[in-house]
Structure 1
Amino acid sequence: MTQTVDAPEASGGSRAADVLRARLNRPMPTDRVWGWIGPLLVGAIAAVLRLVDLGRPHKIIFDETYYAKDALSQLEFGHARKFVEDANERILDGDLDVFLDEPSFVVHPPVGKFLIAQGIRVFGMDPFGWRVAVALAGVVTVILLARIGRRLFRSTLLGCLAGLLLAVDGLSIVMSRTAVLDGILAMFIVAAFGCLLVDRDQARARYAEWAAVKVSAGQAMGDGPLFGWRPWRIAAGVMLGLACGTKWSGLYVVAVFGLMTVLWEISARRAAGIQSPVLNSLLRDGPMAFVSMIGAALATYLVSWSGWIASADAWSRQWAADNPPSTLGALVPSWLRSLWHYHWEMWHFHTGLTNDHDYMSQAWEWLYLGRPVSFDYESFDLGENGCEVERCSQAVLALGTPPLWWGACAALLVCLWWWFKRDWRAGAILAGVIATWVPWLIFVDRTIFYFYAVAVIPFMVLAVVFALGLIIGPRDASPSRRAIGVAIAGGYVLVVLAAAAYFYPIHVDQLIPYDDWRARMWFDRWI
């Protein structure tokens, strides 16, 4: 049955239209200049923590042994090649003639290594060169999160607080100073989340204007409008394609974020008073959302393999030529059949990875810092390497800042409660956690590591800031209520900052007395 609206008087229609606008889209903060200056200042803090002495340690640490050399190989040949046995030592000595004339099977897509290679292209094949792109990705992630927090909470202060907490987090710092893929993956995931937030606001603003005209004219809402051109959705799809092109775990994010934007669409149509919001969203907007997001992601992912596609001697590139297709398979281009086979081999590797490792952990241990990962550790006696006491240590430990992570565990419960109370912001934060953390709970037998959680921490930080915003209280609360809330929230932030400063030396390989290093090992499983 068609919904109708009685024609109101002009003033009544105007008031109803204003109510609709307010219900559909809360206004953004008016401090537009500080809305950029604040995040950029927080980004500057992140840059200092990530870029200063980035070349230390002057060695290839942990999984840099794969990604730095693969990045150099992609830069020189367009694909990965095998390398000589003593490649690491030769590279550190300045000898880059380390590759064999034989392709190498690598188990992650090319995007992350392409970005690492750009740092090598500009600064050379040394620790700073192969780390700088990842470090800059970490800085960009901090700035993005500050802007996202501003939009999510409609507060420049809370947005900048989110950026600051991410800037000082220990795991984020380590993963920004090490040439592995997860920090790059986190940047693309956060960027996609931000794009969808902008799309949500723009779509709701358009629904508000459309519905306001209908209400003012006393017309029926009917099935509502269909907004075909939504560029921020396409941008989100591109970011998700780049995420999948960095590591396959981006696929979980595609699924969860896709569902999230559908739920946002249903909510917008319901708030606008459009009839059958669920059915209309699925049948009218759903196909457009699928094409714009999934189509953009798939196209971006395929383009990311262009170096491999153009390299006739890349691993598995000639598989299709050596394995003639069936009649139906002949319709598929040979490069695509070879790429499909490559992906089958990658899938087989990832699902069969069950080797034991000293620093492997289960995903449920990540949130409470059950088993951090030591990327590098060295000890020195008096007089060695500048050690001025009986014994010194240098360490790169991938460990989150404890009060931030432990506080985030409580904040996630707060978000869960407020999501049940229909606060969409809490649901959005939980969607980010679900996309980046929950899938790893399934892989109880696979070899996985805590540092994968660098993609989770931006959303955990948002959960913390959401809870701190509740503690501070609404703008119309009494001055005493706000003062108490600010004191509690500010005290917690100061504790996080103090802890971040305390642990910073063991994140960035600073030389410290052994006793100082041991004092930071609060639990035996941190060693």
Structure 2
Amino acid sequence: MQRRRSVNTASEPQPRRSAARTAIVAAAIFVVAQVVLLLGVTTPDKLYFDEVHYVPAARQMLLPVIEEPILNPMHPPLAKEIIALSIRAFGDGPLGWRYPATLFGALALVGVYFCGLALFASQGRALAAVLLAFFNQMLFVQSRIAMLDIFALAFSLFAIAAFIHGFRQQRPQLAFALAGLAAGLSAACKWSGLFVLATCIVIVAAVRLMQGWRTRFADGNSEDWYQPDLWPDFRLHHFIACFVLIPAVVYLATFVPLYGFSLPDLLEAQRRIFADNTTSAIAGHTYMSSWPSWPFLVRPVWYLFDKLADGRIAAIVFLGNPLILWPVLIALVVALRDWIVTRNRDAFLVLAFYLGPYLAWALLPRVLGFIYYYLPAATTASFVLVYALTRKPAPRWLLWAFVAVGCAGFVVMLPITAAFIETSMATFNRLMLFQSWI
């Protein structure tokens, strides 16, 4: 009896130690990422690419009285409100414009870490997912420019982490409510944040539909993505609260600083956003591309290309790391096979949160698209890679070898990824493997 009490006493602090370790690792990821992302962030010292739209809109929010017309009304206000707070704190200059992007880029990597833990229950695999998300180049570039996408991505990743955690629980109400909260904040930055919320809704609806049909697999097991007894106490009112009411309330609350509590003004703001996001009457753009081409990295977007006095160049391209993002296409086939053949739950979840934010673009009538719309799917692709590289009988070193290769590709691309690392036309020409990249 004494020995049994000793064992139980020794095991009791384990959850607390695990939570403490998770918090320490998350804090370390945030601090390291914040430092790295801040390096050279004030170069260039002028507005570039779509900063010319969002920074003036943020400046307008700092005026004592905001007069019509509201600048940049085609996007929700939360990310611009955060940029405005940064301008007030750090001044109307490059650091004030871009610091929030670095902050939310670091938070996005923390979100990747939490997603990895929820998916794989492994510190090693979660950290590998963080490194792959960072080395894929897209998150790095988007975390150093005053645009809206990195804000929406960070909130979306926290929504995914909460949802996956709840998906594995018998009582998911709290986790799903947190997912709805984070998804609402994501949509309040950019409407593409709704894609993650829609993915969560589709997953829950599919499970409930199959339960309503009393579906059972003849050889069912605990690793199946669908369980007939999943969430026994999760009711319709819980669903509405978590995935409709909470997201709607937090989303609309972000409009109050601009429009007050005027219902007509709030509705008109939504109408303008809807009209912009669904219109097909938009002129072409030099760097536009369509959604089927994004996983193949066919057409990048050049955010900056400045020729300097000494013949060197300062360049920033949003392309993605081919050494990471091309192999994703193979990993997707592996995960799809496992979901279909073995009904693997992890395969199902990594596929859902890659395909949901990506294929949603196929449903929009909008013809003007850019590869940076692929950022959320490219980030969650790190989970697909970790899944494929760690499934049995893959050797344990394979994942980390792949991370090392991805790191090498990231370093090679730095001269055209960070403007403060000036480069030559010769290096630029060597890195441009295809004519469509120019």
Asked if these proteins are the same fold (TM beyond 0.5), I'd say yes
Match of 1:355 in 2: 283
Query: 1:229-248 to 2 correspondence within 5 Å?
Result: 230-248=173-191
**Equivalent in the alignment of 1:371:** 299
Task: List aligned pairs for 1:6-405, cutoff 5 A.
Answer: 32-77=19-64, 102-104=69-71, 106-201=73-168, 203-204=169-170, 230-263=173-206, 285-310=235-260, 335-352=262-279, 353-380=281-308, 384=309, 387=310, 391-405=311-325
Pick closer, same or farther for the CA change 1:197–1:40 going to 2, 3 Å.
same
Q: Pick the aligned partner of 1:507 from 403, 413, 417.
A: 417
> Are 2:277 and 2:366, in contact at CA under 8 Å, matched by a contact in 1?
no
Q: Among the aligned pairs, what percent are the same residue?
A: 24
CA contact (8 A) 1:28 1:151 kept: no
Indicate yes or no: 2:436 matched with 1:525.
Answer: yes
For 1:434 and 1:456, the matched residues in 2 are separated by 7
SS of structure 2 residue aligned to 1:512: coil
In structure 1, which of residues 429, 453, 460 is the aligned counterpart of residue 381 of structure 2?
460
Q: How many Å apart are 1:103 and its aligned residue?
A: 4.0
Selected match of 1:491 from 381, 401, 408: 401
User: Secondary structure at 2:296's aligned position in 1?
Assistant: coil
Structure 1 portions without partners, runs of 5+: 1-26, 82-100, 207-226, 312-334, 474-484
Secondary structure, aligned partner of 2:349: helix
Q: Which amino acid aligns with 2:435?
A: D
5+ residue gaps in structure 2?
1-13
Contact 2:390 2:396 in 1 (8 A): no
- Structure 1 CA distance, aligned partners of 2:240 and 2:286? 42
CA–CA distance in structure 1, aligned partners of residues 19 and 429 of structure 2? 46
User: How big is the shift at 1:375?
Assistant: 0.4
Change (3 A) 1:33 1:472: farther
Distance 1:244 1:32, change over 3 A: closer
TM-aligned CA deviation for residue 122 of structure 1 = 1.3
- TM-score where L is the length of structure 2: 0.86
Secondary structure of the corresponding residue to residue 367 of structure 1:
helix
Change (3 A) 1:425 1:68: same
CA gap of 1:66–1:289, structure 2 versus 1, over 3 A, is same
State how far apart, in whole Å, the 2-side matches of 1:466 and 1:435 are: 17
State the Cα distance separating 1:522 from its structure 2 match. Answer: 1.3
CA distance change for structure 1 residues 162 and 65 in 2, over 3 Å: closer, same or farther?
same
SS in 2 for 1:360: coil
RMSD of the TM alignment (CA)? 2.9
Is the 1:46–1:168 contact (alpha carbons within 8 Å) kept by the matching residues of 2? no
Q: What amino acid sits opposite 1:514 in the alignment?
A: M
Q: Residue type matched to 1:121 in 2?
A: R
Would you say the 8 A contact 1:38–1:160 is kept in 2?
no
Q: Cα deviation per residue 1:399-420 (whole Å; 9 max; x = unaligned)?
A: 1111110111111111111211
One of 319, 328, 331 as aligned partner of 1:408: 328
Letter in 2 for 1:512: T
Equivalent pair of 2:413/2:431 in contact (CA under 8 Å): yes
Q: Does 1:428 align with 2:349?
A: yes
Contact 1:42 1:164 in 2 (8 A): no
The C-alpha deviation readout for 1:49-76, integer Å capped at 9, x for no partner, is 3111111111101110011111121133
The one-letter code matched in structure 1 to 2:124 is L
CA distance in 2, matches of 1:50, 1:239: 23
Rate the CA distance shift 1:413–1:114 in 2: closer, same or farther, 3 A: same
Contact 2:259 2:265 in 1 (8 A): no
**Structure 2 CA distance for aligned equivalents of residues 160 and 279 of structure 1:** 32
* Residue-by-residue CA offset, 1:72-96 (whole Å, 9 max, x unaligned): 21133575x5xxxxxxxxxxxxxxx
**Which residue in 1 is equivalent to 2:6?**
none
CA distance, structure 2, for counterparts of residue 264 and residue 199 of structure 1: 13
Task: Render the CA deviation track for 1:189-221: whole Å, top value 9, x for unaligned.
Answer: 1110111122234x33x5xxxxxxxxxxxxxxx
TM-score by length of 1: 0.72
The letter of the residue matching 1:61 is Y
Q: Deviations over 1:365-388 (max 9, x none)?
A: 1111111100010123xxx2xx4x
Relative distance call for 1:365 and 1:285 in structure 2 (3 A) is same
Number of equivalent positions:
412
User: Which whole-Å CA distance do the structure 2 matches of 1:31 and 1:134 have between them?
Assistant: 30
Cα distance, 1:348 vs structure 2: 2.1
Deviation, structure 1 residue 29 = 12
Q: Is the 8 A contact 1:145 1:159 kept in 2?
A: yes
